[in-house]
Amino acid sequence: MGVSTTSIPALVSELFAFEIETSIVRFNSDGWSYDGLIDFPCPSCQSGALLESFRKPYTTSNGKEYRYWCLVCTNCRTAKALDSFDGQSLKSLKIAKTVEVSEENESIPSLGPLESPEPGSDATNGPSGTNDDWFYKELAR
């Protein structure tokens, strides 16, 4: 359930009315969509602000589909890739659930929980049905 498919800075400006800069090249490329607010506080500013999640599909050279993650804190106005989180944070992120939409942000869509796949199954998560094995392998490290 995405709001738009464009770059992270453009989506953040459209959804949250502030500018964000990032040095991560893929965040500045088109193809991102908003996935919702997740029940996971920003580890950088430690304000308790929950992170907004964005996803972008990509295909590997052997034809497998995955989705990149971008997590944005609207308090400290930073964009983070999964590789910026330590192992414990990734494990906590794995069990985080999306937050229900409240009256003040009712135009922002919400997704269901981020769930672990059954062992040996294709890991699909979210509306695009892409394979998220990489994310779960990262969580297992």
What is the per-residue pLDDT for 20? 93
> How distant, in Å, are the alpha carbons of 42, 61, 94, 129 from that of 77?
10, 33, 22, 29
Q: How many helices (H) and strands (E) does the chain have?
A: 3, 4
What is the per-residue pLDDT for 113? 36
Sorted by where each begins, the domain ranges of the chain are 8-140
Dihedral in degrees, nearest 10, Cα atoms 103, 104, 106, 108 = -150
What is the per-residue pLDDT for 100? 59
Tokens 């609207």 locate to 74
Q: Global pTM?
A: 0.67
Question: Mean pLDDT for each consecutive 10-residue tract of the chain (141 residues)?
Answer: 74 94 93 92 89 94 94 95 86 74 44 38 37 48 43
Q: Residue 95: helix, strand or coil by DSSP?
A: helix
